Amino acid sequence: MSGFDWIVPVILTVITAATPLVFAGIGELVTEKSGVLNLGVEGMMLVGAVSGFITALVTGNYFLAVCAAAFAGAVMAFLFGVLTLSLMANQVATGLALTLFGVGLSALMGQEFVGDHVSALDKLSIAGLSDLPILGTILFAQEAMVYLSFAMVAIVSWFLYKTKAGLVLRAVGDSHDAAHSIGYPVIAIRYLAVMFGGAMAVIGGAYLSLAYTPMWAEYMTAGRGWIALALIVFATWKPGLVLVGAYMFGGITILQLHAQAAGLNVPSQVLSMLPYLATIIVLVLISKDESRIRKHAPACIGKIFHPAA
Q: Which residues here bind other proteins, judged by CB under 8 A?
A: 43, 79, 82-83, 87-90, 93-94, 96-98, 100-108, 111, 218
Nearer to other proteins, 168 or 304 (CB): 304
CB of 107 to other proteins, least distance (A): 3
Question: Can you tell me the distance from the alpha carbon of 142 to that of 123, in angstroms, rounded to the nearest whole number?
Answer: 5
User: What's phi and psi for 123, nearest 5 deg?
Assistant: -85, 140
CB of 186 to other proteins, least distance (A): 17
Question: Can you tell me the distance from the alpha carbon of 204 to that of 113, in angstroms, rounded to the nearest whole number?
Answer: 20
Nearer to other proteins, 180 or 238 (CB): 180
Question: Which of 1, 20, 41, 16 lies closest to 196 in space, CA to CA?
Answer: 41
Contact yes or no for 54/110 (Cβ under 8 A): yes
CB of 239 to other proteins, least distance (A): 30
Nearer to other proteins, 147 or 226 (CB): 226
Three-class secondary structure of residue 215 per DSSP: strand
Nearer to other proteins, 131 or 218 (CB): 218
CB of 184 to other proteins, least distance (A): 22
- Give one word for 34, left, alpha or beta, with left for phi > 0 and alpha for psi -120 to 50: alpha
Nearer to other proteins, 21 or 97 (CB): 97
CB of 86 to other proteins, least distance (A): 8
CB of 304 to other proteins, least distance (A): 10
The amino acid sitting at 54 is I
Nearer to other proteins, 112 or 289 (CB): 112
Three-class secondary structure of residue 32 per DSSP: helix
HSE-CB for 229 with a 13 A CA cutoff: 20
Question: Can you tell me the distance from the alpha carbon of 224 to that of 205, in angstroms, rounded to the nearest whole number?
Answer: 9
Nearer to other proteins, 295 or 306 (CB): 306
What sections of the chain are H helices per DSSP?
Answer: 7-33, 41-59, 62-81, 91-109, 135-139, 144-162, 164-174, 176-181, 186-207, 224-234, 239-261, 268-288, 290-296
CB of 114 to other proteins, least distance (A): 10
CB of 216 to other proteins, least distance (A): 13
Nearer to other proteins, 93 or 154 (CB): 93
Residues in the chain, how many?
Answer: 309
List b or e across 296-309, with b for residues whose CB sees 16 or more CB atoms inside 10 angstroms: ebbebbbbebeeee
Question: Can you tell me the distance from the alpha carbon of 95 to that of 194, in angstroms, rounded to the nearest whole number?
Answer: 12
